[in-house]
Chains A and B, each alone.
Chain A
Amino acid sequence: MSEHITVLSALNRLLKQPEATAGAMAKGVPVSTAVFLAGALGCFAIYGLAAGFFQGDLQIVIASLKAPVIVFGTALLCLPSFYVFTSLAGSELSPARTIGMLAGFCAVLGLLMTGMLPVAWLFSVSTRSILFVFWMHLIMWFAALVFARNYLRVAFPSLPERRVLRLWILMFVLVSFQMTTHLRPVLWRDPDQGVFSAGKMSFFEHFRAMNAAAFRDPKAMAQGRAAD
């Protein structure tokens, strides 16, 4: 119980005082990376749960499991470039502290997504069009990233080359898209479809195909909801 409160208080501090938290981490004050990771895990699981309400039933559980995997998988793949890019740009943080900063970034992202959770849930349970919820989640993801970028700015206040952070976030976004495509379907699964789709696909191809299908036959795309 006390650990649960610690996670909440750490996330609360991260949200309200990002400069103080990031500054403390940069100075070597031990802030548990695990606390931030646990917080991010919880936030994204809850967000995935809300997103899963679009289809309902088992997809609620599947989406709540997939959402944290998408974010953590992306963060893991982008971790080496995060360390190298910030180091080459002038950061003097150790690898361990850089991991802590990245965990903080994930936690901030998770908190922001959780803040939008009621809206996501409301539209998920009431919308029939997968195209609408797709764009809604995409816009929310972008909004969270814009605000989370401020955390990185305060986390690296003396970084001479800020452009690398923008470049890294762009890579993070692209990898998150590909990770989502890799772990598809997240929002909607046909009755005869497995938890994961077979076949390799780029995110560009996936997004384009989904949008094209939804425009071509919006009723078919919302068939599952209509039948409910």
Chain B
Amino acid sequence: MNLSAAELFDGPSRHHVIEDLCRGQRLGRHALVFVLVIAGFGGLYGAVLGLWRSPLLGFYVAVKFPLLLITTALLTSVFNWMAASALGLALRYTQVAVMMLFALAIAAVVLGSVAPIAWFMTMSAPPPASSARTVHNILYLLHTGMVGSAGIAGTLFLSKVLNVVADRRRSLKIYAVWILSFALTGGEVAWLLRPFVGSVYHPVVFIRADSYQRNVYEFVGSDILPHLLSSITEDPCQNTSPCSQP
């Protein structure tokens, strides 16, 4: 069995993969390739992601980041399979699960390809210190943007698969539901597996002890948004109290 990540790069090979996914053929083999691709490319990006805080966090995130992608794929697959069925597209569960892995394998490849750039940007940033909260926030936004963009790129290939197996109107509906479930679930899984960039106020750990307290949306609603709103309305020179860190 010849397993190669090149089948994701190479147009004709990728076309064969999409055909197999649509027909439900060789799913086990494709799933294995996608998991390996996610582990390799996602691990590479993860290492860069955690490197700013410390090499140890880089190692942790190299393990956690592929875990985040694979867990997100598996957690969303059940709902996405049901949603597709409810919207009139009869696919096997394994087909949907491998499609999720396919989208995230593409995302991992994209992230792996920008890893040298992310590494350079990270290495050019001032080192972590209690005064480097702004740098942390910039890196956090940079990586969030990169991961989000790569995720969208990956799901665009899902839409190609859906366009083959369903009419345009139905495929658009299913695609919208799948994207939403990816975003909601991925955000929460990332919250549970934090730290990734590594807050300057917390020690380096594999997973935080309080990771199961609250969720990412609760945090955004109760901390991030009020802090942003108060920053806009108040005089910035008067606002010196630190807010809670993600």
Query: Chain B contacts of A80 at CB under 8 A?
Result: 112-116
Q: A90-B11, A92-B11, A92-B12 are in contact. Are A85 and B113 (CB under 8 A)?
A: yes
State whether the Cβ of A200 lies closer than 8 Å to any Cβ in chain B.
Answer: yes
Please name the residue on chain A nearest to B12 by beta carbon: A92
B106-148 interface bits toward A, Cβ cutoff 8 Å, 1 = contact, 0 = none: 1001101111110011011111000000010010000000000
| A91 close to B11 (CB less than 8 A) | yes
Please name the residue on chain B nearest to A76 by beta carbon: B116
* Interface range on chain A (Cβ under 8 Å from partner): 20 to 34
B1-43 interface bits toward A, Cβ cutoff 8 Å, 1 = contact, 0 = none: 0000000111110000000000000000000000000000000
| A88 close to B9 (CB less than 8 A) | yes
The CA of A182 and the CA of B125, in the complex, are separated in Å by: 10
State whether the Cβ of A54 lies closer than 8 Å to any Cβ in chain B.
Answer: no
State whether the Cβ of B177 lies closer than 8 Å to any Cβ in chain A.
Answer: no
Please name the residue on chain A nearest to B157 by beta carbon: A88
State whether the Cβ of B83 lies closer than 8 Å to any Cβ in chain A.
Answer: no
Please name the residue on chain B nearest to A77 by beta carbon: B116
Query: Chain A contacts of B125 at CB under 8 A?
Result: 200, 202
Looking at B112, B121, B124, B153, which has the most chain A CB atoms within 10 Å of its CB? Answer: B124
Query: Chain B contacts of A91 at CB under 8 A?
Result: 11
Tell which of B110, B120, B121 touches A84, judged by Cβ atoms closer than 8 Å: B110
- CB A148 to nearest CB in B, in angstroms, measures 19
- CB B33 to nearest CB in A, in angstroms, measures 16
Query: Chain A contacts of B113 at CB under 8 A?
Result: 80-81, 83-85
Please name the residue on chain B nearest to A73 by beta carbon: B120
Query: Chain B contacts of A78 at CB under 8 A?
Result: 116-117
The CA of A200 and the CA of B122, in the complex, are separated in Å by: 10
CB contacts under 8 Å to B, within A165-206, are 171, 175, 178-179, 181-182, 199-202
| B11 close to A77 (CB less than 8 A) | no
Q: A178-B124, A202-B125, A202-B138 are in contact. Are A87 and B117 (CB under 8 A)?
A: no
| A178 close to B9 (CB less than 8 A) | no
Query: Chain B contacts of A201 at CB under 8 A?
Result: 124, 126
Query: Chain B contacts of A182 at CB under 8 A?
Result: 120, 124
| A200 close to B120 (CB less than 8 A) | no
CB contacts under 8 Å to B, within A31-88, are 76-81, 83-85, 87-88
| A181 close to B124 (CB less than 8 A) | yes
B78-110 interface bits toward A, Cβ cutoff 8 Å, 1 = contact, 0 = none: 000000000000000000000000000010011
Please name the residue on chain A nearest to B123 by beta carbon: A200
- CB A218 to nearest CB in B, in angstroms, measures 27
The CA of A73 and the CA of B237, in the complex, are separated in Å by: 40
B58-88 interface bits toward A, Cβ cutoff 8 Å, 1 = contact, 0 = none: 0000000000000000000000000000000
Tell which of A77, A87, A90, A92 touches B120, judged by Cβ atoms closer than 8 Å: A77
Q: A80-B113, A80-B116, A171-B114 are in contact. Are A200 and B124 (CB under 8 A)?
A: yes
Please name the residue on chain B nearest to A171 by beta carbon: B117
- CB B105 to nearest CB in A, in angstroms, measures 11
Query: Chain A contacts of B138 at CB under 8 A?
Result: 202
Query: Chain B contacts of A179 at CB under 8 A?
Result: 120
The CA of A85 and the CA of B114, in the complex, are separated in Å by: 10
Query: Chain A contacts of B120 at CB under 8 A?
Result: 77, 175, 178-179, 182
- CB B98 to nearest CB in A, in angstroms, measures 19
The CA of A77 and the CA of B125, in the complex, are separated in Å by: 16
Q: A80-B115, A81-B113, A83-B113 are in contact. Are A88 and B106 (CB under 8 A)?
A: yes
| A84 close to B9 (CB less than 8 A) | yes
15 contacts between A and B (CB under 8 A): A80-B112, A80-B113, A80-B114, A81-B114, A81-B116, A84-B109, A85-B110, A87-B9, A88-B106, A88-B109, A91-B11, A175-B120, A178-B121, A182-B124, A200-B126
A residues engaging B (CB < 8 A)?
76-81, 83-85, 87-88, 90-92, 171, 175, 178-179, 181-182, 199-202
B residues engaging A (CB < 8 A)?
8-12, 106, 109-110, 112-117, 120-121, 123-127, 135, 138, 153, 157
Which 3 residue pairs of A and B lie closest in terms of their CB atoms, listed nearest first?
A84-B113, A87-B9, A81-B113
